[in-house]
Each structure stands twice: as C-alpha cells, then as structure tokens.
A and B are shown apart, each in its own frame.
Chain A
Amino acid sequence: MSIISVENLSKQYHIGTKLPYRTFRETLMNVITSPAKWFKSNGLRENNTIWALKDVSFEVKQGEVLGIIGHNGAGKTTLLKILSRVTEPTEGEVRIRGRVGSLLEVGTGFHPELTGRENIFLNGAILGMRKEEIKRKFDEIVAFAEIEKFLDTPVKRYSSGMYVRLAFAVAAHLDPEILIVDEVLAVGDAQFQKKCLGKMGDVGKEGRTVLFVSHNMTALKSLCNRAIWIDKGHIINDGESEAVVANYLHETAKVVIEQNWDDNNNAPGNEKVRLLKARLAPDNKGMDSIITVETPLNVEFVFRNFLPEASLNYSMHLYTMDGICVLNSGSPVFTAKREKIKGICRIPANFLNAETYRVKIMMVQDASVPLYDHNDALIFDVNDIEREGNWYGKWAGVVRPKLDWQVETDNNNAEKS
C-alpha cells in the first residue's frame, strides 16, 4: 500500500502585483472603484495567475527513496511545500499515512544570538520533536555535527560550515516515517555532504520513505531508486532514477551562449539588481566559433543596479551537468551607483574539460550578502580536440588544466654522471 498518494494536485499563485502582500489602501481603492467586481472575483483577476503545479498525480510506496528533479521554478518546491503542509493546494488532494518530517531549508528558526545547545532545542521543537526526544538524541546530534567545542557559543560566531552541520544534524535525527528534503546539500563542504548523503541513505534503508529534491544528479542517482521530473508544473517523466536523470540531462542540455533581457522590471532580479545580459564569447581570434578545451572564453554579464551607492562584486559558479560545482570565482569589490555594470570573466584555454557546463551568476553586496543569483545564465559545451597518443576515451575530471611536469629518469642521471 502506498504511503503517499497525490491525486490531480494543482496550485495556483497570483502574480503580477508589485508587492507579494497587499496594502490596505489598494484593497480599499478596489472596493471603492469597482465594488461589484471586487465582491464577485474577490479582487483577483484570472490573467494574473500562474499554475505552479497542474494535475500532478503519483504514489509513493513505503521505503521508497524518490528523487524530484526539474529546473528552478518548475514546481518542485511548491510540491514539497504542499506535502509538508506549509501551503494549501488549489485543487486535488494528498493522502499521507505516517509522520512527516520536512526540511525545506537548513536551520529554519535558528536564532543567531542563541548558543548551539539552545538552538538544538529550539530547532528540534520547530521541526516537531518533543523535548524528551531532543534530550535523548542530544549527544548523537552534537557528535554528528562535530561541534562539541562550540556548544555554548552563539551560532552567529559559527562558520557557515558549522552552522550547516548543526542544522542538518538536528533534522537528520528527526526520525520521521516520511522525510522530505529540499536541496539542503547545496551547502556545506564535500566531506559533510557525503556524511549527510550517507545518513539519508541509512534513513532509506531503515524502511522509511524519503522525498528528495536536488540539482546534484550524482547524489540523486546514488540515493534514489525512483525519480520524478517536473517541468512547468507537470510531471514529464516518472520512473527508474538512472533513466529519468538521463532523459532530463539529454533534454535540458540545450546550449545557451547568450541571453538578453529588456531593461525594465521584467528582467530577472529584484528591486536591488537586475540581470540584463549574459554572454559567452569564445576568444578565437577570428577562427571558427566552436569551443574546444583550447579556446579561451570571455564570460560577460551586464547588471542594472538600483542601489544608491553600493559596494558590490560578481560571483560566478560553474557547474557540470551532474550538478557538481567546478569553481566559484568572485570579481574584486567595486562601488556602483544606480547604473549599468558590465563584468567580464576570462576563463583561460586549457582549463575546462570536454563537458557541458552551466553558469550561475550572483551579485553580492559588501562581499557577504547575495542580492540575486541566476541559475543557468549560460549553458555551453566544450569540445575535445584531437589528442596525441592513441587513447581517445573520456578525459577524467571536471577540469583539465595543462600543468607543468618535470620528468627525470634514472637513465638520464646515469648518462650524465
């Protein structure tokens, strides 16, 4: 028998208004100017809505580890939010048979002023644990997070790694029958990611059910036996995870080497900064436009800044299609007024491997506060070249820099002496 059944689930959001919330004046004006319309439609117009999910149906069996993939804005998070009861569906229904623990964000409710010890109790209670239960698991949580020495330090003094470790540790010890996890592995160092994945794998092996959203395809393939691919609110593909991931990668690996947006409020971003342009220019010096491992690349981003006087910097992430982060490179900090900013990052020749890469661009304020980040601003293929030697297999590694080698053999030394 299935532990979760989702039937014709749909969720409609209202968009188009400038603010997510209404002001009292707006409502008053609506009532005054067109009372009949307001009462009939409850102030909402059909054309200002978007279906974040539309007619989604699936079943999950007990003990299944289900991966959910899709682009940003495809509806994955909306689905998880409905399953964790944060938001209500507009249509359809979900039946859940068992205790749900959901982790839509790492460290929800952590308070920076409180110590690690205090936050364990607070966060545990917010996630639905009893005080007794937290006390019982306290030592285990602390050991898992590796923060023994900092238990009585306020978490605002923690490094981001420690913060994430503690937050994940609390959530990992929730012991729900159904665990819902959204993209929490995007943070934290590689070693801890491995540990978290291991913990989640254990949860699955214990016969509990896991729903897992990630952009890390490698992790997803190794953890999940089944995957669902969601796009524009619909399920595109549902099946064995290897196959679904392969389909997803195949379908979405469309090359994007230039994107332009109109310089207005529809450009991606927010009231602080907006992205106007992203462009990848191979520096081939007039040769053909194919990008190979030997092509130097210029990656260009144009932003519109709306902040009066801000110290900003670019931060660019490069990912493989499997979701592995290759690098993160930041520009020097600069001061910008309300103006257009153009930034170019040069990726040298003989650095990237023959792979498909995705670029995420981020604008950061005061070298610490991310103002806006845009996933998949660029997607590009790097092609292989004809190599010396007689091995033509895929070159291993996410990068392929040409490094200096010094080689000595005993033979040479013997001749010299």
Chain B
Amino acid sequence: MKHELIIKYKKGWMPINFKELWSFRELLYFLAWRDIKVKYKQTVLGAAWAILQPFITMIVFSILFGKLAKVPSDGIPYPIFVYAGLLPWNYFSSALSNSGNSLVASSNLITKVYFPRLIIPASASLSSLLDFFIASIILIGMMFFYHFTPNTLGIVMIPVLVSLTFIVAVGCGLWLSALNVEYRDFQYVIPFLVQIWMFVTPVIYPVTLFPEKYRWLLSLNPMAGIIEAFRAATLGHQPINWDLLFISSGAGFLIFFTGLLYFRRVERSFADVI
C-alpha cells in the first residue's frame, strides 16, 4: 500500500513534522547557497565586504568608545574586546533581519510550490554564517597580534555558542517573518529592533558596566549571555559567566519554541494572505 496523503483543513496548533523536514534538508542548503551566490555576484568587492564592514566598525568604535568615551573593556585592549563582541553580534543581526524579511521576499515560492515553510527563515539565517566565518579571520589575526589564546573549554564552547546564536536568530526570525506576512508593519520594526537590541547587549561595553543588582535583567536578553560567553571563550581573558549564559539560553530557547509554535499555527494561511 502506497503512502496516502490526506489534505484537509486542520485546526489549532500543529506538531512539527520532522520526517518531512528531513526529506527537504537539501532545499535548506540550496536556498542558503542561492542567497550567498547572489549576494557575492552582485557586489564588486564580494567577500571583502564581510571583512571590511566589521573591521571599519571596530576601528570607529575603538576610537569613539575606547579612546574618547573610555568605556571599560574587562582590562583587555578595547579593539579586540569590541571585535570579539561585534563578530557574533553582526552574525545575529544579519541573520535576524534576513530571516525576518525572508517570507515576504519569497512570496513567489510560497504561492506556487509546497515545501515546509520553516525552511525559508532557517535558510536565511544560515546564509549569513559565511560572513561570520570570513570575518573571524580578523579576530584570529588580532588574537595573534595581542597574544590571546583560548583554552580547550573555550574552543569547545565556540561552536555551541554559534549554534545558540543561530537558534535565537531563527527564533526571532520565525516570529518576525510570520508577523510580517500578515502585518507589513514589521518590515519597519526589524531595523529598529536590531538597532535598539545592540545597545542593550554587551557588545561595546562589558556586563560589569551594569550594577550587580540589575544584571539579571540583562541576562533575560538571550544575546547578552551568548556574546559575553563568546568573548570569554575566544579570548580566555576571564572565565565564562555560566549563570548569565544559562538564563540567556533559556530565554533564547523560549523565543525559539514559541516562534516555532506560532509559525506552525499561521503558516497554512501564508499563501492566501501574502
């Protein structure tokens, strides 16, 4: 007996169909590959942008916040301090905006062909990862220059932290992209959100800038714990703040799972409203 597919109206919350997602894994790869190809084909400098943009930002921030405003930097040189924060932050912010806009940008696919819609925001977050790897070259160079070596635990933690960033970015992307389909207002929310979010995340300043009493508030921001841990893991200048990372990861997973639930609930009407 062949597999029988039943198409009918389904009500309420939908479970996640892992088997189907697995069978479409190649599409995830192809869509991310398309985004990368197209991005680098249309630019003259191509991959150099992935280095130039964070590098120049690092220089500007070092002058403004490091030299002029004298923002503390955990006792290490400000340029490497800020770059080790900018690197994961840039990945997060570009993954978030790409996936937040991904469904509307793929409306021609959504109205014409079936595949699990989750693949669209997920692949959009995945494609930004290449820029992250290219930009890491600068960090490695700076680590040689300033004589920083990560410890073994740090090296083990880096892929974990990158995966966590991916999960938070996809989680936000699921919420924003699905809301964007129905309410186009969210295309204006996304850049604004990214901008504000950076200031409440310890990218250009250390967590210690916050008074001890209010630090738990900061840890509710999933990116706060992740970025602080990423910096500690790569530079090894201080131990990873596990409490902070733990609460932040919890908040991140909460965003991810609620995003997944919301997305699954509304995805069936995407083709009709987009």
Which residues from chain A sit less than 8 Å from chain B, CB to CB?
Answer: 13, 20-25, 27, 81-98, 100, 102, 104-105, 108-109, 111, 113-114, 118, 121-122, 125-128, 130-131, 154
Contact = CB atoms under 8 A, between A and B. Distances in A.
B109 interface: yes
Contact of B4 (A89, A92, A96, A131): A96
Interface residues of B, number: 40
B113 A94 contact: no
24 contacts: A20-B274, A21-B183, A22-B182, A23-B183, A81-B111, A86-B113, A87-B272, A88-B7, A88-B268, A95-B7, A96-B5, A97-B4, A98-B2, A100-B5, A113-B42, A114-B34, A114-B37, A121-B30, A122-B30, A122-B33, A125-B27, A126-B109, A128-B115, A154-B41
B65 to A, nearest CB: 35
A13 B273 CA distance: 10
Contacts of A118: 34, 37
Contacts of A127: 113
A122 B34 contact: yes
Contacts of B10: 88
B9 A21 contact: no
Interface string B1-42: 011111111100000000000001011001101100110011
B5 A126 contact: no
Contacts of A122: 30, 33-34
Contact of A108 (B7, B112, B271): B112
Interface in B227-274: 268-269, 271-274
A108 B109 contact: yes
Contacts of A81: 111, 271
Nearest to B3: A97
Contact of B9 (A27, A90, A126, A154): A90
Top 3 A-B pairs ranked by shortest CB distance?
A93-B8, A85-B114, A125-B30
A86 B271 contact: yes
Given A23-B184, A109-B113, A95 B6 contact: yes
B8 A94 contact: yes
A342 B6 CA distance: 51
Nearest to B41: A113
Interface string B61-78: 000000000000000000
B185 interface: yes
Nearest to B106: A109
A13 B272 CA distance: 8
Contacts of A86: 110-114, 271
Nearest to B38: A113
Nearest to A109: B109
Given A22-B273, A102-B114, A104-B113, 15 more contacts: A27-B183, A88-B8, A88-B269, A89-B7, A89-B8, A91-B9, A94-B7, A97-B3, A97-B4, A105-B108, A105-B112, A111-B38, A125-B26, A126-B30, A127-B113
A114 B183 contact: no
A87 B272 CA distance: 7
B181 interface: yes
A121 B9 CA distance: 33
A253 B110 CA distance: 36
B7 A82 contact: yes
Contacts of A91: 9
A114 B7 CA distance: 35
Contacts of A131: 26
B185 A25 contact: yes
A128 B20 CA distance: 11
Contacts of B274: 20-21
B113 A84 contact: yes
Given A81-B271, A89-B7, A102-B114, A108 B108 contact: yes
B108 A109 contact: yes
Contacts of B42: 113
Contacts of B112: 86, 104-105, 108
Contacts of B38: 111, 113-114
A93 B113 contact: no
A39 B18 CA distance: 33
Contacts of A96: 4-5, 7
